[in-house]
Structure 1
């Protein structure tokens, strides 16, 4: 007999976009309407939100060690200072050494409130400068093993200590399933809640099952199994339907950027506020590969960091009543070269920085070990050295916030130390 967990993993409650242009199929709506009231059977749990910045963010421009004269010499037209009265808008002085890019001003209050932490010098121990390989290693969580079948977030789902009550335990707001969610544990990717275009993950036969109709999927299950899993799932479907996702209104005063990331975080906020059992969420931001005309206070980099910070702050304000339950973390595959190139940009480097936001974060600090940017301290004589393995931060956030205390399974090849980015 198929187990409840097995049914979930086989996609019995996965929701596909095929044939859903007119909304939820009638047979699902009828099954969901078995009672007169919407019952929320999902225990409120902690939620971890992750954002992948694809393309490799220049951490030295996002959070600049502005007192380092070596960086100033290496970037004659890209260097920014915290001093007032210069040619460009000044950096936001965080601690006398590091300055936040002025387009990220939305982050400053959260940093001062000690809810936003920054890790500098973070990256992968694998020194590849290939976007594809570096992203793959980071999302798999095994930087020296290309053969890892699962992603680290999928393994995190399996280590939560309880089965999924709904299809919405692990959700990626992307058009396709990210590498982070590959694996045997159930997860879904949702390109847009309004279109209800959902793809199923955590299933080796997902491609074949995607072609099947809902009736076919449920036809494979026994009636007893449906009784066990169906009500919780249909309750979640009914919640999406009843909450009128097409006309969602954020909290008063909250305005999300009209961007891909802003829209993704708005939909994650919807799922959180609807209490549909979300525990791990994923979103992504592109355009960080700044090889030319990177700009300083204006330009593509400034636009990207403005979108990142403004989207995150809008999300954080929108979920004000849930902030104790949510921690958000960013990641990027690697950083950029210390020196600018001949086209006003930066090339593929090594270490970058990331941002962690939450009430359980050891915030108001720039964590990590960044040495002066003299040549002998640079990796390969050109790059900011990786002094913090990304797994040290990812595991600490997951351990402290989600109470996952099995680093051996979460990151099989890692035996390092955590750095104190989360409160004890």
Structure 2
């Protein structure tokens, strides 16, 4: 039997406690040795996941002049977005599509050519179509077009192959109660529900103490560092990296500025207002991401969720006094608008020129509404791209139509744009990572759609991912 001494036991307990407290993953993906990294940019990519399957036809309904309008009206009554009168959709310049009336701030960004929509987007190789939230979300985050994936997230493969510098203080952050599956397998990502809570301060009254009058009295937070004094094992490395993240973020005041109660708090710039009555947590997390970007901590990736889009019953519409879907749209619109305004008006310049936001959901909803004034699980959906380097003011992609004969399997919006195509363009043009066929195993035939600005690099493919394994903590 192997001998376990007291110090190793304490280290093991400590890293387990920290991993639990910070939602850190206790294993790391081993990169294939034949990957030749590119030289990464210092852009930040923010992935917003609308969990629950957002109804794209309610966020972006056919406008009054759309050839799809008649079929849309025939399929919907209790969930319809009107084009005139109370709750009328907002026309989008240069297109026959319209926008939900509660998304007026998104339309402002669209009119500034900073926001783009992609219709008919989704998982392009589902055999059969995945209609389970759990399976579809996991499959999308593992980076597969359909079928089944593995337990390595596509963002992890990007971090491995993206050519980041050897030392980056904070490469990736996952905002939520658990780590986003797209970052599964990464030892570079930290997870937090709130940046202000990412600390270990509840241990003891003497946690931070350093008493000059008592030799040797050092607070526990400092003592923790001595438990991990090397990088010989994954356990050592995980402990060092976790404590480094804690040390980096603990001194930062992530609370909102208040002249009396929190004068050292964060002050959004440009008049950005992160207040939203329906989902304040989502807006607060976007504010935290903006603050971290401004602090220049090297964050390249951030993930954030906005859930509760599973509208089988009582989906609502903007003509009703209570509109569940509209409340969700309000949260999305207000949050993204504040985020853009805040970073675009930073004292360090327009940081949105180096920040790209991609909004995605696992699948869309059925075209025909159900008997419970809601919509059931569908297929094709709408993606959003936001940023100073986005060719916005356009709706990209197309769908065959909304008539029964034009729908996928006679019920759903068809997928005509693989979601990986949009993300691949962001990785190549904004992050300078051409290794998209490694990031997205099984994907091929990439061509840019023109959503993002930036130089093109020849896409590179690797087939070594399954030839290399994982290394556990022990």
TM-score by length of 2: 0.72
Q: Trace 1:4-403 onto structure 2 (pairs within 5 A).
A: 16=18, 45-66=42-63, 67=66, 68-83=69-84, 86=85, 88-94=86-92, 95-125=94-124, 126=126, 127-144=129-146, 146-163=148-165, 165-197=167-199, 214-215=224-225, 218-221=228-231, 240-246=249-255, 247-258=265-276, 259-297=280-318, 298-320=322-344, 321=349, 322-403=351-432
Identify the residue that residue 439 of structure 2 maps to in structure 1. 410
Tell me which moved more, 188-197 or 391-400: 188-197
Aligned 8 A contact 2:355 2:387 in 1: yes
- Structure-2 change in CA distance of 1:16 and 1:359 (3 Å): same
Q: What is the RMSD computed on CA atoms of the aligned residues?
A: 2.9
1:155/1:185 contact within 8 Å kept: no
How many angstroms does 1:284 deviate by? 0.4
SS at structure 2 position matched to 1:402: coil
Whole-Å Cα distance in 2 between the matches of residues 257 and 13 of structure 1? 36
Unpaired stretches in structure 2, ≥5 consecutive residues: 1-11, 23-39, 201-222, 256-264, 455-474
Distance 1:230 1:140 in 2: 27
Call closer, same or farther: CA 1:174–1:167 in 2, change over 3 Å: farther
Change (3 A) 1:162 1:65: same
- Whether the aligned pair in 1 keeps the contact of 2:228 and 2:240 (CA below 8 Å) is no
Say if 1:13 and 1:255 are closer, same or farther in 2 by CA, change over 3 A: farther
User: Structure 1 residues 146 and 164, CA, compared in 2 at 3 Å: closer, same or farther?
Assistant: farther
Evaluate the alpha carbon distance shift between residue 408 and residue 217 of structure 1 in structure 2; reply closer, same or farther with a 3 A threshold.
Answer: farther
| Alpha-carbon distance, 1:240 to partner | 3.1
Deviations 1:48-83 (A, max 9, x none): 111100000000010011332001010023222333
For the residues of structure 1 that align with 2:439 and 2:41, how far apart are their CA atoms? 23
| Rounded Cα–Cα distance in structure 2 between residues aligned with 1:75 and 1:408 | 40
399 and 366 in structure 1: CA distance in 2 versus 1, 3 angstrom threshold: same
Alpha carbons 2:41, 2:431 under 8 Å: kept: no
Higher-Rg member (1/2): 2
Partner of 1:31: none
Alignment TM-score, normalising by the size of structure 1: 0.80
1:196, distance to aligned residue in structure 2 (A): 1.3
SS of alignment partner, residue 445 of structure 2: coil
* Number of residue pairs aligned between Structure 1 and Structure 2: 369
SS of equivalent to 1:294 = coil
Aligned to 1:4: none
1:112 & 1:69 partners in 2: Cα distance?
Answer: 26
Gaps of 5+ in 1: 1-9, 21-42, 199-212
